[in-house]
Amino acid sequence: MTHRRIHVSRGSAIAVATLILAAAPLVAQGTRPAARGAEHPKPGESATERLLYALENQWAQGVVKRDAATVRRLVAPRWIYSDESGTMNREQGIAAFTSGTDTVTTAGNDEMHAIVYGNTAIVTGILWMRGRGATGAFEHRYRYTDTWMKLGGRWQCIASQDYLMPGGAR
């Protein structure tokens, strides 16, 4: 039997050990890490990127709270939403996100990435939602692309597209 010896540098070993120790409480508790946003900056992120991530997180919480005013504040007057079922205008989208028979109890964003072009930005990510519906408990994951523009001095979403990820409904 042959054995291969793998050389691991001291720095790599410390990094792996730190990662394992940091993740252990999350695994033990069965929780997911907090969504990235202004409170969890990644090295090299601009203030604009952190603000956009925070706005995405506010949107997710607006859905949980069925807070149409929050969603309305975040989306532009001519916002358009598209998913696998078709498109919706602003009022249709706000109603779909904040009313209905399904109750979203918790939601957040993972893997957010922003690309900023002056007063326009694209944010991609994965929105996860847990809750209860007519058929019982659900957990959905949606891959999304949101287009943001600075209008009247504040960032507003002008277009959104998402889809339910394969295996995203559990």
What DSSP character marks residue 96? H
What does each C-alpha distance from 129 to 78, 94, 106 come to in angstroms?
A: 26, 16, 6
pLDDT in tens, the chain (170 residues): 333 332 333 333 333 333 333 333 333 333 344 444 445 567 889 999 999 999 999 999 999 999 999 999 999 999 999 999 999 999 999 999 999 889 999 999 999 999 999 999 999 999 999 999 999 999 999 999 999 999 999 999 999 999 999 886 65
Question: Domain 35-164 belongs to what topology?
Answer: Nuclear Transport Factor 2; Chain: A, (3.10.450)
Q: Where are the domains of the chain?
A: 35-164
| Helix or strand run (H / E) with residue 148 | strand 136-151
Q: Reading across the β-sheet that carries 75-83, which strands appear in turn?
A: 86-88, 75-83, 154-164, 136-151, 120-133, 103-117
Specify the pLDDT at position 43: 80
Asked if 41 and 54 count as a contact pair (C-beta separation under 8 A), the reply is no
Asked if 93 and 83 count as a contact pair (C-beta separation under 8 A), the reply is no
Specify the pLDDT at position 167: 82
C-alpha span between 159 and 78 (Å, rounded): 9
Specify the pLDDT at position 44: 87
Task: Transcribe 18-37 into DSSP letters.
Answer: HHHHHHHHHHHHT-PPPPPS
Specify the pLDDT at position 127: 98
